[in-house]
A = this chain, B = another copy of it.
Amino acid sequence: MKTSSALRFLPQAKLPAGFRAAGIVAGLKASGKPDMAMIFSDSAAVLAGTFTTNQVKAAAVRLDAARVANLGAAHGIVVNSGQANACTGKAGLRDARAMAAHAARQLGVAPEMFLVCSTGRIGVPLRMDLILPGIEKLAAALSPSGGENAARGIMTTDTVPKRHTTTFTVNGKTCRLTGIAKGSGMIQPNMATMLAFLLTDAAVDRRALQRALKAAVDKSFNRISVDADQSTNDTALMLANGRADNTPLRPGHPDWPVFATALEGITFRLAMDMVRDGEGAQKLVTVHVRGARSAADAEAAARSVANSFLVKTSWVGTYPNWGRVMDALGYSPARIHEDRVEIFYDKLRAVQNGLKAGASITRLSKVVAKKQFTLTIDLHLGRHAATVYSCDCTEEYIRINK
């Protein structure tokens, strides 16, 4: 079995066999940047998906969730930015369905075999007058080398495209897995304004694919925090078209572990790209809580710190403001004992027994000044741990969102 370290991950959107993609300018953005993308598998692919837990769900989320549950197969995905098509009622659902149908028509597949994703402003109707011609343009532009364009076509406030590719071997056949994603604001645990598409030419059993996707999302996209807001549109979709002609992967298959490792490697890299590219963010901070009484406590404590705006703004500077970390632990729902808490900045101990420990401010400041560091918090109350990935909150975040 290949281990994670044996897999090579490249920051590219090199599509697996049988997939084509495109990204174009449909005119939905005032900036004139690419604003639509399409992904298409020439043969029907096994489909899996996970969606926002927000009670307010965009039309595309409703449509796709039903198709994941009822059909479990798809040919393609069409994506627009500019309008989220959320809080748009029945008209919004009709528009989402029309988008899928129009895309399917161009490619000669059944309308239900296309999925739709939207991102942008909530509460305004889709510009169907621009989207329908955009779909035609996309269909004409589909290409096996179109992954990069698709990765750019789904960007919103993202400053860089987010895509990774890896290969692995199943039954001696080389399979490829490509992920592309977007998302840099409204990001918090439980899939917030992010879209991610995972594509593979491996054959995977439908239920196993859904379980693997959910597990990978839980360890990646559900572990990052930019601003603690959860979106109405979050979607991760996975298509496995089986072009590698392997015996379908499922737990128990000798090559299942390498597939699961590849998938987790891709989703984790995409998630790290998102938090690094958090709106206005300049730093990636790993918040690791250990010694919690329960798994729920570990996660609650890590999220409380990772989501605190006072903690996040303190990271903009270089002062190791561990008092704000203590404060955020104290108001989290997790049980803590102030006088047991231990806090490390990378390897340097800042707090022991809830009190300032040995490391000097100067040395701690050097850690906080880094583009990337780890805050380790030991609650010394039990054996449970959790990790959340966060970023600093700069003035730029406010400028982007005001």
Residues in chain A within 8 A of chain B (CB atoms): 53-57, 84, 86-89, 121-124, 185-186, 190, 227-232, 308-310, 313-314, 316-317, 322-324, 326-331, 335-336, 338-339, 351, 353-356, 393-395, 397-399, 401-402
Contact = CB atoms under 8 A, between A and B. Distances in A.
A310 B188 CA distance: 12
A383 to B, nearest CB: 20
A354 B314 contact: no
B310 A186 contact: yes
A327 B229 contact: yes
Overall SS of chain A's interface: loop
Contacts of A57: 330, 338
B401 A398 contact: no
B398 A356 contact: no
B54 A331 contact: yes
Contact of A87 (B55, B86, B185, B356): B356
B324 A55 contact: no
A227 B313 CA distance: 11
A229 B309 contact: yes
Contacts of A230: 327, 330-331
Given A53-B331, A86-B323, 20 more contacts: A54-B327, A55-B330, A55-B336, A55-B338, A56-B330, A56-B338, A87-B323, A87-B355, A89-B353, A89-B355, A122-B327, A123-B355, A185-B310, A227-B309, A229-B327, A232-B326, A309-B309, A309-B401, A313-B402, A395-B399
B56 A87 contact: no
Given A186-B327, A355-B87, A355-B88, A313 B401 contact: yes
A330 B232 contact: yes
Contacts of A308: 228-229
A324 B122 contact: yes
A347 B236 CA distance: 39
Nearest to A228: B309
A55 B297 CA distance: 14
Contacts of A310: 185-186, 227, 229, 401
Nearest to A123: B323
Contact of A398 (B55, B86, B123, B395): B395
